[in-house]
Structure 1
Amino acid sequence: MIYFIYVIILVAFIDTFAQLPIISPFAHELGATPLLIGLAVGMYSFTNIIGNIFAGFWIDKNGAKRVLYIGLGITGLILLSYSLVHTPIQLILARFFHGLSGGLLVPAAFTYLANTSVKTKKGKSMALSGAIVGLAAVLGPAFGGMMTETAGVKWVFLIIGGLMLITALLAFLLLPQTEATMSRRIDSKETGKSIIDLLKNVPLFYAYLGSFALMFSQGVLAYMLPLKIEALNYGNEVSGMLMSTFAFTAILIFILPTNKLFDRFAHEYMLNTGLVILGIGLLLLSVTSQLSLLYMIMVIYGIGFSFIFPSINALIIQHTNVLDRGKAFGLFYAFFSLGVVVGSVMTGALAVTANGAFLIGTTVVLCSSFILFILIMQRKKASASIN
């Protein structure tokens, strides 16, 4: 069943990534103003944050399976509804509900994966899930762009919506009930931690800070890399190849024996190392214009990403139990979505150049790394004094 969870993660992230190249042109085609285009693009991420947090409570109350198949079913129906969209306002409404329902999927999938993984191989399981996300990052935009060119933008939503509905039915029929609900039945006195308690948990804060910094950099990269490539007079396909280079690098680290690193070293150290590498990659992007060097830098960026993503997931697993893991993953993916929104909106609002945006990303990521380092050292000293 663990492999079917990977399929669900793939479907959920293909839905997310397939939208990237098509929403702005679709909104423009419907006659949207620049403001409405921005709302259409950003609405999904905004309501996704709400869905992530709501999903956490629902998962801890009813188990991840129910949230998964209901979320998949509702998201599938909403995707089908895009075929009925004829105005910018209708598109914004569809994006509102799409983000809300889509926010249920990833926390539920990762909670289910965490609760079913072998205890000694949590890091490896999360590394493999990272490979799935990387694969979706390659397949999603390619599928969205290709299908739009050949059959029209609405067929992107119809096909992914149909795939969601089939996956929802299979999840309902095939997945066994999750551990969270059974634990509540055994011990009704244990209710798990509140969101405030989870935010105060220092190791979990490592994960939340790391997820925000990672996706802030992703927001900057997705927005500014195509602009940098355009300014250098390279074709649009170069941006896609550079993004694929980073994704394939991360996938290789996730699936090769290097994935054993995530169970061998402390997750917080792997996370901080990844942030430093990511910051270096962004800094190099800001000062480099030679194409061959840009490909090498995207390899560096991919290594940083590959160290961060499994580590923050594994930290959540390590420092939660089945009663509050859903809320913890919901918070994690809320920070995930928030990072993308803040990263792209901030750089757009400041009206900086691509190189300036990469420097802002460098500052945010390396400052996050420094804060994380201080927190780790403080916790280590506190632990040593107790012992």
Structure 2
Amino acid sequence: MKFSTLFHPLVWIILGGTIFTRIASFMAMPFLAIYLHNEIEASPLQIGLTIGIAPLISTVGGFFGGYLTDRFGRKSVILLTIVVWSLVFFGFATVHAVWLFVLFNALNGLCRSFFEPSTQALMIDFTPADKRKRLFSLRYTAINIAAVIGPIIGVYISQLSSPSIPFMLTGIMYIIYAVFLFFVLNRYQMQQPKAVAQTKILSTFTILLTNRVLLSFIFGAILINIGYSQFDSTLPQIIELKIDDGAKLYSLLISLNAAVVLLLQLPISIVSERFSSSSTLLVGILFFALGLFLFGFSNNYTLYIIAMIIFTIGEIFAFPTMNVMIDEIAPDTQKATYLGAAQFKNLGGFIGPIIGGWLLTHYMNAMFAVIAILVLCSCIFYRSKTTTH
């Protein structure tokens, strides 16, 4: 089978669009805190509130975005969201009040929580069940390609011109993608399974709350995300404390993380297709925990590099598999709703830095060991998931 015929053309288009839009986003968003500090003269508290509001809003918004996608169709939600999202980036480029940045980043989180379940559900609609593991692995690769390219372009553009230009350019790229998708999505007949009767949103929420398998998935994913969030929060701080010129090492580790994902994502994906989703995720959790333990013991470049490689292998096993598991849990008529509800796992990304910051302040030497144990505790929830089938 040719690689190009592995998926429906629309799936390839969405995967390509994922690279395009993520490059646009990565040109601007990693530098939002710096922009707020240098251009708006925001305080650390104001910057923290602005950055933290997006994952918090997306946690709740995912459920509503998923429900509306199943209720009114993928196409409508995708097109409306991408247009609003472009306006958000134009807002970042033009406003000067901190409270407006808080508002726009809340909208940014809301748009992501609508866009992610709708595009993933659309790809699921056009992909046979036996190919979905490969699909989510390729999607994860696409995101990491963008993570390498986007920040480099963003730095280059901001050095040549105003620091607000990357935000403006991102908005323009999103508008271009919206126009492109308008014509593409109208070309193909949507294949979304229709429910016999539309379930009201409160009834849907009640159904999700009583789904033990879904709740187990979410609680386990929160613990995993508590561990992963240390990569962006406590890891750079502890490296700065332990290593001379720690910023240089941390930059190297970020690049290494992306490089390992791009290098190993496909071979690990092919191997993991032979095993169940639960088994694959458990392997990822073990690598995650081992990587975190090693971060705690590291005190030189070599140990940090080894720890990052192990940590990243855990990421490769775990994150695409989590999407596959939601697909396996969800009924055909509620794929987007379940994908949206799974966004509650982002609570781990919100509370993880708080837990890590407290441990770093009071129990620095034991911090990564405690976080690793929390991540290992997620295995309990996924062992229970394997017994429900």
CA contact (8 A) 2:132 2:324 kept: yes
The residue number in structure 2 matching 1:110 is 120
C-alpha distance in 2 between matches for 1:44 and 1:94: 9
Q: 1:344 aligns with which of 353, 376, 385?
A: 353
The residue number in structure 2 matching 1:25 is 34
Q: Give the 5 Å matches for 1:261-272.
A: 261-272=271-282
CA contact (8 A) 2:224 2:378 kept: no
C-alpha distance in 1 between matches for 2:328 and 2:373: 29
The residue number in structure 2 matching 1:37 is 47
CA contact (8 A) 1:81 1:94 kept: yes
C-alpha distance in 1 between matches for 2:359 and 2:29: 22
C-alpha distance in 2 between matches for 1:134 and 1:210: 24
Q: CA-atom RMSD, angstroms?
A: 2.5
C-alpha distance in 1 between matches for 2:308 and 2:360: 24
CA contact (8 A) 2:62 2:114 kept: yes
Q: 2:143 aligns with which of 133, 145, 148?
A: 133
The residue number in structure 2 matching 1:241 is 252
C-alpha distance in 2 between matches for 1:89 and 1:5: 34
Q: Which stretches in structure 2 are left out of the alignment for 5+ residues? A: 1-9
The residue number in structure 1 matching 2:80 is 70
Q: Give, in angstroms, the shift of residue 20 of structure 1.
A: 5.2
Q: Give, in angstroms, the shift of residue 82 of structure 1.
A: 1.3
The residue number in structure 2 matching 1:51 is 61
CA contact (8 A) 1:21 1:145 kept: no
Q: Secondary structure at the match of 1:22?
A: helix
Q: Give the 5 Å matches for 1:119-130.
A: 119-130=129-140
Q: Which stretches in structure 1 are left out of the alignment for 5+ residues? A: none
The residue number in structure 1 matching 2:229 is 219
1:165 and 2:186 aligned: no
Higher mean C-alpha displacement, 275-284 vs 23-32: 23-32
Q: Give, in angstroms, the shift of residue 43 of structure 1.
A: 1.3
Query: CA separation of 1:215/1:178 partners in 2, compared to 1, >3 Å: closer, same or farther?
Result: farther
CA contact (8 A) 1:52 1:103 kept: yes
Which amino acid is the alignment partner of residue 254 of structure 2? M
Query: CA separation of 1:378/1:365 partners in 2, compared to 1, >3 Å: closer, same or farther?
Result: same
1:289 and 2:270 aligned: no
C-alpha distance in 2 between matches for 1:355 and 1:165: 48
Query: CA separation of 1:209/1:262 partners in 2, compared to 1, >3 Å: closer, same or farther?
Result: farther
Q: Give, in angstroms, the shift of residue 153 of structure 1.
A: 2.7
Q: Secondary structure at the match of 1:359?
A: helix
Q: 1:326 aligns with which of 304, 314, 336?
A: 336
Percent identity between matched residues is: 22
Which amino acid is the alignment partner of residue 60 of structure 2? I
Which amino acid is the alignment partner of residue 194 of structure 2? S
- Partner deviation per Cα, 1:163-213 (whole Å, 9 max, x = no partner): 111111111110235333x524xx347889823333443443454234323
Q: Give, in angstroms, the shift of residue 65 of structure 1.
A: 2.0
Which amino acid is the alignment partner of residue 12 of structure 2? Y
C-alpha distance in 1 between matches for 2:199 and 2:57: 30
Which amino acid is the alignment partner of residue 277 of structure 2? H
C-alpha distance in 2 between matches for 1:16 and 1:205: 31
The residue number in structure 1 matching 2:264 is 253
The two structures have a TM-score, normalised by structure 2, of 0.87
Query: CA separation of 1:57/1:19 partners in 2, compared to 1, >3 Å: closer, same or farther?
Result: same
C-alpha distance in 2 between matches for 1:296 and 1:333: 30
CA contact (8 A) 2:217 2:381 kept: no
CA contact (8 A) 2:118 2:336 kept: yes
- Partner deviation per Cα, 1:19-73 (whole Å, 9 max, x = no partner): 5541222222312222211111111212222331211111110122221121111
Q: 2:283 aligns with which of 267, 273, 285?
A: 273
How many residue pairs match? The answer is 374
- Partner deviation per Cα, 1:120-169 (whole Å, 9 max, x = no partner): 11111111111112223333443444433333331121111111111111
Q: Secondary structure at the match of 2:41?
A: coil
C-alpha distance in 1 between matches for 2:366 and 2:153: 31
The residue number in structure 2 matching 1:196 is 206
Q: Give, in angstroms, the shift of residue 11 of structure 1.
A: 4.2
The residue number in structure 2 matching 1:229 is 239
Q: 1:178 aligns with which of 183, 186, 190?
A: 190
Q: 1:8 aligns with which of 2, 5, 17?
A: 17
